[in-house]
Structure formats: structure tokens, C-alpha cells
Amino acid sequence: MAYIKLSKSNLFANVDNISNTSNCEILAVIKDNAYGHGIVQIAKMLQQKGIQRVCVRNNDEAMLVKDYFKEVLVFFPTLCYNSPNISYTISDIKQLRRSKHKKIHLKFDTGMHRNALSMDEVDEVLKLAFDKFEVRGIFSHFCCSDEIGCDTFIQLDRFKKLKDRVVAFCKLHNLDLPKFHLANSAGVFRLKDFSMFDYVRVGIALYGGMEDTKPVMSLYAKALKQQMIYKNQAVGYNKTYTFCNDTMTTLVDIGYSDGILYFDKELQLKDTLAVGKISMDSMMVIGEYDEVCVFDDVKEFAKNYPNTITYDILAKLKPHLKRVICD
């Protein structure tokens, strides 16, 4: 069966790199099955490395990993699970008014305009939140930290002003300060000053899906059948690839039902070429193999798909693929 290898040493190296760069506590993003890596497997390794706080997508993911960490922040909460170490993201004032979960992080919009509290609501939100809830964090999200431009620094300035207002409010009412976090993976490697943050909230940098980080995932497929394809014969649906010479091939047990993005003629793998149209459960590669490495660095594999990103490739890999922790 096709399977995934996870490099513990590379994961730990990425954690060290992030810590040394930012000098902040890491709030590790392990949502969506840890970007396809396996949420429980990654949780166990991060706990071993000393990570105490993580972010997940929903309540179900929170329940899978709550026993490994001091705090689990749910980005999109639904049902109310009052586990003492689960925190809920509040991104709408109506949500704040009806929430029954007492431990929260407030998410404000500093420029992304996607899913956050308005900066015009700061005073009202702070009064409501600190009156009824344990406010554990205040955060926002960069929209353009992976490109050159002024947006990141505009957001940074807005967040600083937001923090100043929160600090003043807490001092006035003799309240404990919440923790502040804004920097994402790209932000960690772009910013120079992290003094206003308590946490850096990183995802793709943990997994090696951006430059200057080490890949954690390697994807392998097993042989189903080896066969000779002869000159001028074509292969697969619609015969999109014709062989110029007699060629030994291997059919391997991975396809788009496992999460491999669709291709219709060629796909460059680690050491060989997949040819023809990918099938639901298999694809054909050039050469004779018992096992094929589809990729051991998602950054290289992503070059097959100019219109997508490493996140997309990783997150689509299905949970039924076995994850094996190595080194």
C-alpha cells in the first residue's frame, strides 16, 4: 500500500529554526490533519519536542489532540466542549454574545478582510469579552507576508495600536493581559522585531513547505504490476502518452483518490516519470520498481503544478494513507 514517511529530525530542525529566528513561543498550526501529515502523529512529535500550544480547525480535531498540549486553539468552533485546555476563536460579535465556551482568543481584522472582528468594534468587544470570558489571546492574520509590499507593515502598525488599546483596557480594569500573536510562517522569516508578540503562529514552515525549511513528508507508492510497453503503443485513458521506444513500466498503487493532483500526460516524480492520465487508484511510471518515491520534498513536486501551492498538495493527501514516523 502507498504510504507516507514523516521525518522527525526535519520537523525538529524546523521548530528550532523558527524558535531561533523569532525568539517567541510557537503556537503550532496542526489543522486539517496537520496539513496532510497526520494530526496525531505530528501532535506526538511536537509534544516530544516541547511544544505546548497548537491550533486546529474544529472541535473534532481538538478532541484528538487535547491530551498532548497545554492549550488547543480551535479556529472554527461548533459544539461546546468545555475541556479546560481548549480555547475558541471568536471572530464575530454575534458569536461572542452567544458563546458558552469561556476560554477564548479574539481575532481582529487588520487588513485581510476575511473572517475577523472589526477594528471599529474594539471597545464593545473588549467590554463584552473580559466581562464574561477568560480572554487568553488577541490575534490577527497577515494577508501578504509572503510577498514584497507595504501591506504587512500596515497590518503590523494596526496590530500594535490594537495591542496598545487592549493593554490600556486591562490596566484600567486591573485585568491579566492576554497573549498576542500575528506572525505566520512567512511573517517569521520576514519580520525583524518580534517584541510585540508572545507567540508566533506557524504552519507550513513546520512541515517544510516553504524555502529555507526542511521537508517533513516523503510519499511512496508500491508496485502493482511491471510490464513492457512497446514502441508506438499508448497508455491509459484517452491514450495521452505514446512510447517512442520499448519501455519497461510499473503500475503503482496511488491515484487521485489518494489525493494526488490530477495530471493528463506527465508528472515528474523523485526519480522517474509518471506517464499517461492518472487513474483513480493508480498511475504508471517509467522503469521497473518494487517501490517508487513520489516526492521527498513537496517544494520540488509542486513545480509540476504552476497554478497551485505546497499547502494544496499536502492537505489533499487522504487520511487513509499510512503515516510512518522515521528518525
Residue spans per domain, the chain: 7-207, 217-326
Residue 78 has pLDDT above 90, yes or no: no
Mean pLDDT, rounded, for 173-192:
97
Task: Pick the closest to residue 120 from 135, 130, 112, 108 (CA basis).
Answer: 108
Residue 317 has pLDDT above 80, yes or no: yes
Mean pLDDT, rounded, for 293-321:
98
pLDDT the model gives residue 259 = 98
Give 174's contacts (C-beta < 8 A, 6+ positions apart): none
Q: Give 169: exposed, middle or buried? Use CB within 10 Å, 0-12, 13-18, 19+.
A: middle
Residue 81 has pLDDT above 70, yes or no: no
Mean pLDDT, rounded, for 202-210:
98
Give 128's contacts (C-beta < 8 A, 6+ positions apart): 93, 96, 97
Q: Which CATH architecture has domain 7-207?
A: Alpha-Beta Barrel (3.20)
> Other CB atoms closer than 10 Å to residue 131's CB: what's the count?
8
Task: Pick the closest to residue 273 from 295, 253, 258 (CA basis).
Answer: 295
Residue 82 has pLDDT above 80, yes or no: no
- Do 7-207 and 217-326 come out as alike in CATH topology? no
Classified as helix, coil or strand, 27 is strand
Residue 80 has pLDDT above 80, yes or no: no
Length of the chain: 327
The answer to whether 192 and 19 are in contact (CB under 8 A) is: no
Residue type, 302: A
The answer to whether 247 and 286 are in contact (CB under 8 A) is: yes
Backbone angles phi, psi at 306, to 5 degrees: -60, -20
Classified as helix, coil or strand, 265 is coil
- CATH 2.40.37.10 assigned to domain 217-326? The reply is yes
Cite the active site residues: 31, 237
Give 200's contacts (C-beta < 8 A, 6+ positions apart): 18, 22, 24, 25, 26, 27, 181, 183, 184, 187, 188, 194
Mean pLDDT, rounded, for 67-74:
98
Kindly write down the DSSP assignment for every residue of 87-137, as one continuous string.
EEEE-SHHHHHH----EEEEEB-SS--SSSB-GGGHHHHHHHHHHHSEEEE
What would the pLDDT profile of 17-57 be if each residue is shown by its tens digit? Answer: 999 999 999 999 999 999 999 999 999 999 999 999 999 99
State the DSSP code for 188. H
pLDDT the model gives residue 269 = 98
Residue 79 has pLDDT above 80, yes or no: no
